[in-house]
Amino acid sequence: MKKYNLLLVGFLFSLGVSAQSSNSILLNLYGGYTFSDKVEYDNMYGYVEDGFEYGAGLEYFFIDNSSVELKYNRLDTKLPLYDLRGQLNEGNDKGAINYVLLDYAHYFTTGSEKLLPYIGAGAGVAILETPQSDNGTYFAWEAKLGVKITTSSPISININAYLQSMSAAVGNSYYWTNIGVVAATDYVSTFQFGLGATLSYDFSK
């Protein structure tokens, strides 16, 4: 019985090991593959095609196991637009989405100090670049989860999945009401899923 009690105490202690100590600052380098999404308009539709997404961020642990991060990621992609006649911008559809996000993440302790699962979410802006020079800045958000793999050095890596969204106003719809014609702004949103990896350097080690 004493052996089982010692094993139980050891297991509970291992769960209490901190994933990251407070006041740690990490430099994160991002790379991932983001999948395409179809966007529907009133009489048209378009795609944000898949592509490689990359960027960097600074992550600060304000308490043990919880962090905030300011990050910048860029997705180079194509933005084809179609109507009943076919593609409207053929040969002129290259673009990019630049995400500037403030993220929160929480890391879960496990029986292994080397494997640290986490979940997180963030919000900010997406800066859309298009060949037609109608660039814009729109609201954006993301949700993410993954596993960090730590080492005895300041270097760690994590494998992650993420969902990113950008919302933009694309015009107005008009409705007849008992007080007259009312205009309502139409919005479209992208929803892109991705898989990636992050290389981190911990300045506190």
C-alpha to C-alpha distances, 134 to 62, 86, 126, 130, 170, nearest whole angstrom: 39, 21, 14, 6, 12
pLDDT at 89: 84
Q: pLDDT of 184-199, one tens digit each? A: 345 688 999 999 999 9
For residue 162, pLDDT beyond 70 = yes
> Is 24 within 8 Å of 202 (Cβ atoms)?
yes
Closest CA to 97 of 166, 15, 39, 153: 166
Q: pLDDT of 128-153, one tens digit each? A: 888 765 678 999 999 999 999 999 89
Q: How confident is the model at residue 175 (pLDDT cuts 50, 70, 90)?
A: very low
Q: pLDDT of 73-119, one tens digit each? A: 999 999 898 888 888 888 888 999 999 999 999 999 888 878 999 99
Q: At 149, which CATH number? A: 2.40.160.20
Q: pLDDT of 33-66, one tens digit each? A: 999 999 887 778 889 999 999 999 999 999 989 9
Residue 136 half-sphere exposure toward CB, CA atoms < 13 A: 10
pLDDT at 140: 96
Euclidean distance between CA atoms 101 and 118, whole angstroms: 18
More confident residue, 6 or 76: 76
For residue 173, pLDDT beyond 50 = no
pLDDT at 67: 97
pLDDT at 106: 97
Give how many domains the chain has, as a whole number: 1
pLDDT at 46: 87
Q: Where in the sequence is the domain holding 159, given as residue range(s)?
A: 2-202
